[in-house]
Amino acid sequence: MVNHTYPRRQSPTERQLGFLRRDFVTVFGLAALGLPLLEACGSASGRPAKAADDGGATVGAQPRVRASQAASPGRGVQRTSFPITAVGITWTGSPRGVRLRFIDRKGQPGAWQAVGAGCPCGKDPAPGTVRTKSATPPNRALVPAQGSYGYQLDVDFGVEVIEAIAIDAGSGSKYRPSPSKSAAAKTPDASGTAPAFPPSGVVLRADWGADEAKRFTADGSESSPTRFTEAQMVTVHHTATPMDDPDPAATIRAIYEQHAVSNEWGDIGYHFLIDSRGTIYEGRFSGTDGIPAHNARDEVVTGFHTFGFNPGNIGIALLGDFSKEKPTSRMHGSLVELTASLAARHKLDPLTDITYTSPTSGKSTGGPALGGHRDWTSTECPGSAAYLDLSAVRERTAHLAR
């Protein structure tokens, strides 16, 4: 039997009272397996939110993902009955005004660590909404917990923690694709032939363990119904997660949990993700036709990766923190292969600037056809080292896509 978790959206009254935003109904389980580490693209003492039971991390064909969620958790210690892969935090105020320490299984606290906000992802404002400073998304971070069993927060004056969620993303060898089996991990050749889309070896949602139930609300309706528009550009991000991730699929499941349920976006915000070994993963759900990120008319599903510039914008996230360290050669090669296949498919010139026109607001803004998140929003994403690497990515993409 497959294990499922069913999210329950909270009413405005419940939010004011500080109740849980979500319950979990767990159907069967096995003994828990070991966990990876993780971070991302986010003084009232209280009891931890109710979570799934202590059953296993992997059941049948799908790994178990468990979470303990608390609204406005304050400075009290939040304990869990399961080992934590990561803690997702949402807050307002200073982007660097939060500190966190983890609690081990014996109840001993670790050292305090500063938490920096990730890049400002999120859904675009509704049509007709004027984008103002107050409309800017809150700060969000996903901090690696390395199997801790609790955490505690401390904040600067003026900082309000809206929510914190402890995530056990599960683990299992089935969800650790071998780079040797992925053609996407190979460096593109110099033949000048555009690679076909999608590149071979892309890990589909079912294969990295996406629980499709998380895309739906309690009444069975889709939280963020798919909407498709013509592709206009490609934007590269980084997830600000640890480098050389031992279990990228678990990291992606943790990001999915935060994006889809905690952030209430209804899905993971990126169209694709690439790990350090060059493996490409399918992101945002686009249907069941087997073409990642697209519908049958070759339009692109709207993601939630570049606030204000999402429709027609294909978001690719590099797993890791590339503020100082460049992407690996395998990651670079797979990024080139993926962007070249997209550029050829949509007739995009990666060396030129475009005038992006939002299908929802109708407003136009100039920027690169193949760029980084910082080209569109005030952010450090995709990290300075990855951003500098984009010039080489553009050149190689253009060579392959022509």
CATH number at residue 288: 3.40.80.10
Q: Are residues 183 and 197 in the same domain?
A: yes
Residue 58: per-residue pLDDT? 40
Q: What is the mean pLDDT of the chain?
A: 80
- Classify residue 39: in a domain, yes or no: yes
Q: Are residues 107 and 179 in the same domain?
A: no
Q: Are residues 121 and 159 in the same domain?
A: yes
Whole-model pTM: value is 0.81
Domain tally, the chain: 2
- Classify residue 21: in a domain, yes or no: yes
- Classify residue 2: in a domain, yes or no: no
Last residue of a domain, one of 168, 185, 203: 168
Task: Quote the Cα angle for 262-313-221, to 5°.
Answer: 40
Q: Are residues 393 and 330 in the same domain?
A: yes
The closest alpha carbon to 22, from 305, 208, 263, belongs to 263
Could you read off the pLDDT of 362-380 as tens digits, one per residue? 889 999 999 999 999 888 9
Strand partners, 143: 87
Q: Are residues 254 and 373 in the same domain?
A: yes
Residue 363: per-residue pLDDT? 82
Could you read off the pLDDT of 119-164 as tens digits, one per residue? 778 887 766 555 443 456 788 899 999 899 999 999 999 999 999 9
Q: Are residues 215 and 317 in the same domain?
A: yes
Strand partners, 84: 148
Residue 176: per-residue pLDDT? 59
- Classify residue 161: in a domain, yes or no: yes
- Classify residue 189: in a domain, yes or no: yes
The closest alpha carbon to 319, from 277, 258, 350, 284, belongs to 277
Last residue of a domain, one of 168, 203, 220: 168
Q: Are residues 70 and 203 in the same domain?
A: no
Strand partners, 62: 59
Residue 185: per-residue pLDDT? 41
Could you read off the pLDDT of 303-362 as tens digits, one per residue? 999 988 999 999 999 999 999 999 999 999 999 999 999 999 999 999 999 999 988 878
Q: Which of 17-21, 160-164, 263-267, 387-391 is the least confident region?
A: 17-21
Q: Are residues 161 and 182 in the same domain?
A: no
Q: Are residues 318 and 178 in the same domain?
A: yes
Q: Are residues 129 and 232 in the same domain?
A: no
Tokens at 197, concatenated: 């889309």
Q: Which of 67-71, 111-115, 345-349 is the least confident region?
A: 67-71
Q: Are residues 144 and 206 in the same domain?
A: no
Tokens at 301, concatenated: 């599903």
- Classify residue 3: in a domain, yes or no: no
- Classify residue 191: in a domain, yes or no: yes
In three-state form (DSSP H/G/I as H, E/B as E, the rest C), the secondary structure along the chain is CCCCCCCCCCCHHHHHHCCCCCCCCCCCCCCCCCCCCCCCCCCCCCCCCCCCCCCCCEECCEECCEEEEEECCCCCCEEEEEEEEEEEEEEECCCCCEEEEEECCCCCECCCEEECCCCCCCCCCCCCCCCCHHHCCCEEEEEEEEEEEEEEEEECCCCEEEEEEEEECCCCHHHCCCHHHCHHHCCCCCCCCCCCCCCCCCECHHHHCCCHHHHECCCCCECCCCCEECCCEEEEEECCCCCCCCCHHHHHHHHHHHHHHHCCCCCCCCCEEECCCCCEEECCCCCCCCCCCECCCCCEECCCCCCCCCCCEEEEEECCCCCCCCCCHHHHHHHHHHHHHHHHHHCCCCCCEEEEECCCCCCEEEEECEEEHHHCCCCCCCCHHHHHHHHHHHHHHHHHHC
Q: Are residues 120 and 215 in the same domain?
A: no
- Provide the residue range defining the domain that includes 304: 174-401
Inform me whether the pLDDT recorded for 47 exceeds 70: no
- Classify residue 248: in a domain, yes or no: yes
Residue 72: per-residue pLDDT? 75
Cβ atoms < 10 Å from Cβ of 61: 11
> Position of tokens 């990515």?
393
Could you read off the pLDDT of 182-221 as tens digits, one per residue? 444 444 555 557 789 999 999 999 999 999 999 999 899 9
Positive or negative, the CA dihedral 379, 279, 267, 196 is positive
Task: Provide, rounded to the nearest whole percent, the portion of the chain with pLDDT above 70.
Answer: 76
Last residue of a domain, one of 145, 168, 191: 168
